[in-house]
Structure 1
Amino acid sequence: MPFLLATDPAKPDRPNEDFAAVGTNAAVLLDGAGTPPGTASGCVHGVAWYARTLGGLLLGALGSDDTLSGALAASIEHVNRLHADTCDLKHAETPSSTVVALRWDGTECEYLVLADSVLVLDRPGVSPEVITDDREAVVGAELRKPMDALPTGTPEHDQALRDYVAALAEHRNRSGGFWVANTDPTAAHEALTGRLHLDEVNALALLSDGATRLADRFGLATWRDTLDTLAADGPAALIAQVRTVEDSDPHGQRWPRGKTRDDATVIYGHADA
């Protein structure tokens, strides 16, 4: 199954905190959790470093015989060792990331989804199957209301965003809260996992939440529309559509959100590509 990949940073003057890569038998997409301006993280390297370091290690680890969860747990521990001497790994805002991972052989594909990035499966004759871990959204629904009531980009919204991120951290990687790749390797075993036969899907897509906004935040496209855009025009075209809508609502008045724009990344594979 050939793949197409596109990624775009939220702002050209800030690092892209998403990471995506495709190997000979695996693909990974990570969406690093950025700290709002003015918020310390305890890590001298930053979120972009964390996402690409964990992502690169995970892609390599998926070449082993370990389970997907086991490969992710080992990769998290490896990253811990890389910066434990320079960074405060116990800091509440130490970098974290969502993870979507695929591994395949000649007939089957395994998947892992941790946190709110998305895997969409296009199965013949049925509606798209959307696999995402919505525990963070459930926890954050009440916590984000003060932020969503304020215009994006204002000092008041910026402070509310910092407050929201701090409150959300109290629920990260604990029972009853939500789970992300962070410093605790056991989070990997909280991921959604599964297996499918490759002949059961026409196409599949891995998307960071910055690329899913048309479908799950703005309500301007269905998942079927999303897959059709990817099939016809490719990942960059989908991201361009998202940017057009984001720029039409710069202050979040129609669609309240933490960031006017978000890093957006798509990996798309199609059986007939």
Structure 2
Amino acid sequence: MPEIAIAERAGVGADGHPRPTEDHVVVLGNAVLVLDGATSSDPSQPPGGWYAERLARRLADDLRAAPGADLTDVLTSAIAAVTADNGLRPQQSPSSTVAAVRWLGDRVDALVLADSPVVGFGAFGVDVVSDDRLARLRRRGMLQTGADVRRRRNAHDGFWVAEAVPGAAAHAVRRSWRRADVHAVLLASDGVSIGVDQYALFDWREVLATARADGPDAVLAAVRAAEKQDPDGERWPRPKRHDDQALVLVDFTSGGIQGLP
């Protein structure tokens, strides 16, 4: 069993007021999941955290039942089950990112759907498993309104995310590494990866070094401190002053679990 260290912090809503985190972290016997529920602008919809919690629970149940199953197949069936159980409809439902890491006897598998990356470290160097389709659309100014997001969600000219379309799972970014080559893996929600991708506070090697030396919460604190210096988003435009944060370090050089409630 690798050593697993976890840090989470709630952000604020679109109105700037505190509210419960919509990120969910699940640790299983041979896997870790990080899901980031997307904040909806439609008050008639359940929140993204509601959806992420249900999808995380279904994924966990399915992976406990079949620890070696294909990750895309597991995600496909989990989305289908949550959709059916709750009567969800495409383009009119809450959604969530999915980041998964699963270790077996001979390999470590990673899956990423939407913008919660997985980063592997080992004999192969640093391998960032990321889905940049959302980021590309934002840079091109194609997600200006809620209608834009709905139109391009789970569409071939848009981005793919866990929602009410089980086929979205087939568009996840996948990676497998030889287990003997893997030293550590990070899973992050975008409230953490923004510190690398937009704020340039550190690179992923530095994130790993900080998480190992001071714990993953030190990384979250550095991102939050930078945001407090830019409260109105003038330097780093963003929809919320502080997003939810989740960071998990899976360290294959030792054993144990830290940071679990």
Q: Same fold per TM (> 0.5)?
A: yes
Partner residue of 1:266 out of 247, 253, 256: 247
Match of 2:48 in 1: 47
- Within the candidate set 60, 71, 74, 1:71 is matched to 74
| 1:117 counterpart letter in structure 2 | S
- Please say if residues 19 and 52 of structure 1, whose CA atoms lie closer than 8 Å, have aligned partners that are also in contact: yes
Q: Structure 1 residues 72-81 or 4-13, which shifts more? A: 4-13
SS across alignment from 1:244: helix
**Alignment match of 1:172 (pick from 145, 148, 153):** 153
State the Cα deviation string for residues 187-245 of structure 1 (Å, max 9, x = none).
Answer: 00111112111221211100001011221110121111111111111111111111111
After superposition, the C-alpha distances for 1:227-273 in whole angstroms (9 at most, x for unaligned) are: 11111111111111111111110000111111111000011111223
SS in 2 for 1:212: helix
Q: Which runs of 5+ in 1 are unaligned?
A: 146-162
Greater Cα offset, 112-121 or 5-14: 5-14
8 A Cα contact 1:143 1:168, kept in partner: no
Q: Which amino acid aligns with 1:71?
A: V
Which residue of structure 2 lines up, in the alignment, with residue 206 of structure 1? 187
Instruction: For residue 211 of structure 1, give the secondary structure of its aligned residue in structure 2.
Output: helix
Asked whether 1:132 is paired with 2:113, we answer: no
Aligned to 1:30: 35
Shift of 1:136: 1.1
Q: CA deviation at 1:66?
A: 3.2
Contact kept in structure 2, 1:143 and 1:164, CA below 8 Å: no
Asked if the contact 1:18–1:264 (Cα under 8 Å) also holds between the matched residues in 2, the reply is yes
CA contact (8 A) 2:129 2:174 kept: no
- For 1:172-191, list aligned pairs within 5 A: 172-191=153-172
User: CA contact under 8 A between 2:83 and 2:164: conserved in structure 1?
Assistant: yes
SS in 2 for 1:78: helix
In 2, are the aligned partners of 1:69 and 1:191 still within 8 Å (CA)? yes
Residues of 2 paired with 1:270 and 1:222: CA distance?
18
Give the letter for the 2:9 counterpart: D
Instruction: Measure how far apart 1:144 and its partner are.
Output: 6.4
**RMSD across aligned C-alpha pairs, in angstroms?**
1.8
Greater Cα shift, 101-110 or 128-137: 101-110
Is 1:8 matched up with 2:1?
no
Cα–Cα, structure 1 residues 66 and 270, in superposed 2: closer, same or farther, change >3 Å?
A: closer
User: Which amino acid counterpart does residue 217 of structure 1 have in structure 2?
Assistant: Q
Specify the alignment match of 1:149 in structure 2: none
In 1: Cα distance, 2:140 partner to 2:102 partner:
36
* Residues 51-62 of structure 1 mapped to structure 2, 5 A cutoff: 51-62=52-63
1:81 aligns with 2:84: yes
Aligned to 2:116: 117
Q: Is the 8 A contact 2:38 2:47 kept in 1?
A: no
Is the CA contact 1:211–1:265 (under 8 Å) kept in the aligned structure 2?
Answer: yes
Whether contact under 8 Å (1:230, 1:238) holds in the other structure is yes
Per-residue CA distance 1:147-181 (angstroms, 9 max, x = gap): xxxxxxxxxxxxxxxx5332122111011211000
Segments of structure 2 that go 5 or more residues without pairing to the other structure are: 255-261
TM superposition outliers: structure 1 runs of 4+ over 6 Å = none
Matched position secondary structure for 2:135: helix
For 2:86, give the aligned amino acid.
H
Question: Number of residues paired by the alignment?
Answer: 247
Is 2:104 the counterpart of 1:105? Answer: yes
- Do residues 247 (structure 1) and 228 (structure 2) align? yes
Give the fraction of aligned pairs with identical amino acids, expressed as a percent. 35
Conserved in 2, the CA contact under 8 Å of 1:27 and 1:59? no
Distance 1:165 1:249 in 2: 25
Aligned partners of 2:142, 2:199: CA distance in 1, in Å?
17
Cα offset, 1:115, TM superposition:
0.8
- Contact 1:73/1:185 (8 A) holds in 2: yes
Task: Return the TM-score normalized by structure 2.
Answer: 0.89
Letter in 1 for 2:89: L
